[in-house]
Structure 1
Amino acid sequence: MKKPDSLRAALVAALPDLARDPERFLVFIDKGSLHATYVPGLSFECAYTLNIILTDFAEDPLIVWVALLAWLSANQPELLDNVDLRREGVSFEADITTVGGCLIRFAGAYQSDDTGAVDAVEVVVRGRHKELDFGSAKPGDNTQHKFTTPCSYYKLSINGAVKIEIDLLNMLFLVDGVDRLAEQRRALGI
């Protein structure tokens, strides 16, 4: 599959910061299927949803849209030519973190001493750094740093299941899928 690599190269060319920090730029495939017929030869078609995730992206999103449209016009023009495909062929989601500040993701795993079972744990927080204390940091020294970050968002996931999600800006407080502020939002009309 050459198109994901080609699109990655086009976006890196348009956004050089991504080349310097490739971990901020994720490309993966969902819902892939292979379409083939029983005819002589090995012809087939791959269909899939290509997902692109840009993290910690502080530039104007229009840069991404323009680079994407330029790539589509050269490599997948039917998504621009066909009215039905144009409506649903490219979609996006955005987490605007300018109010909430920076996004920080902690990922790890716990292993049970008695059973040996491993649980994947992920914590995602958003907030704006209030205090940065670098202590007596010197090159080559093992030093400690202190950061104070009031959070506007918190999510705890264990083995992919969201256990707790708190979003202060949207007045959400979910515990094991139960929305504990639903009635308050309904009473306030939000």
Structure 2
Amino acid sequence: MNNIFYYETIIGKIGIVENGMAITQMNFAEKMPKGININETVLLKRANMQLQEYFCGKRKIFDLPLAPSGTEFQQKVWNSLLEIPYGKTKSYKDIAKNVGNIKAARAVGMANNKNPIFIIIPCHRVIGANGKLVGYAGGLSVKEKLLAIEKQNYESIIAIRSYQVKM
């Protein structure tokens, strides 16, 4: 049985869904998917805790079982998104190249748009070839905020490492 629970975050209310074994989707609104129980499970609590740590800059990598539902191509794109390091961005063209079809940047954009587990599968780290922010299910202001969180914390890590090396 699938379960959902809603959590308040710095980017608004987020619903997290699990199937008893893995996180399957997230949503921004109180949009209730059909056939799902409102039930805060141990896995959902763990996912929320990791999201809150991410928002505070304490978590760079999520450690959760994931089971997004999508086509074979979408799965390839989503796996490629998981390879984008914290604090970094890639273009749609970069992802297309990574999944083996350099001409598929538009299809990558569509797969990115269908990512059912945003933030954890970091579709917000994908930007236009010109470096501009383009498209995000939660809106560009949310994408900008997520990237700002990562940039700030990434630069702090680099500054600390630089300081440690100089000692």
Per the normalisation by structure 1, the TM-score is 0.23
* Larger proportion of strand: 1
Structure number, greater radius of gyration: 1
Per the normalisation by structure 2, the TM-score is 0.25
* Larger proportion of helix: 2
